[in-house]
Amino acid sequence: MALANPRILSISSDIAVFDSRNRVLESAGFEVVPSFCGNGALEKFTRESVDAVVLGDSLSAPLRIALFKNFRTLRPSVPIVVVYRVGEQTEDVLLADAAVESLDGPERLIEVVSTVIHKSPQADKPNDLRRAQKAN
């Protein structure tokens, strides 16, 4: 079953990139749950029903890795896409469900996010069912 308006938790610390990336995701039909600078990202992840997470390359590597590990511990079935800088090989990049080089462009980001969402075990559940399960 295809997801209607999959929800993406988008996290970045560069406001211009953050706004641009979120507009790209929204234009592709995703509903974006924004978290600038990682503020409240963990809280949003636990409170909101999201279909995937996009960790931006503007976050420091230690913050990205900490968020990644917390997300994996809390809800391991939620796919995580890491946007990384050229040549970066941090733990989160290596362990992510998918990684996109920051220079790859918006089409590649959309392709990768769509792919991980449709591979996710959550893809078989409608959004309203997932939200109801989260509320319980």
Q: What is the 3-state secondary structure (H, E, C) of 83-126?
A: EECCCCCCHHHHHCCEEEECCCCHHHHHHHHHHHHHHCHHHHCC
Q: What is the mean pLDDT of the chain?
A: 86
CA angle in degrees (0–180, nearest 5) for 124-130-133: 130
pLDDT value at 3 more than 60: no
Residue with tokens 């075990």: 121
| 107, burial (CB in 10 Å: exposed 0-12, middle 13-18, buried 19+) | exposed
> How is residue 51 written in tokens?
């279909």
Phi, psi of 111 (to 5 degrees): -60, -45
Reported confidence tier of residue 128, pLDDT bands at 50, 70, 90: very low
Whole-number pLDDT of residue 121 = 59
The whole-number pLDDT of residue 87 equals 83
- Residue 5's alpha-carbon distances to 27, 50, 117, in angstroms, are 11, 11, 11
pLDDT value at residue 120:
65
Identify the pLDDT of residue 68: 93
Q: Which residue has the higher pLDDT, 22 or 134?
A: 22
CATH of 7-135, one of 3.40.50.2300, 2.102.10.10, 3.30.559.10, 3.40.50.970: 3.40.50.2300
What is the per-residue pLDDT for 131? 38
Q: What is the pLDDT of residues 37-92, one digit of tens each?
A: 877 999 999 999 999 999 998 998 889 999 999 999 999 999 999 999 888 888 88
Looking at 11-60, list the stretches that DSSP marks H as alpha helix, in order from N- to C-terminal side. Answer: 15-27, 41-47
Query: What mean pLDDT do residues 93-108 have?
Result: 92
Q: What pLDDT sits at residue 74?
A: 95
Q: Is the pLDDT of residue 124 over 70?
A: no
Domain extents in the chain: 7-135
DSSP 30: P
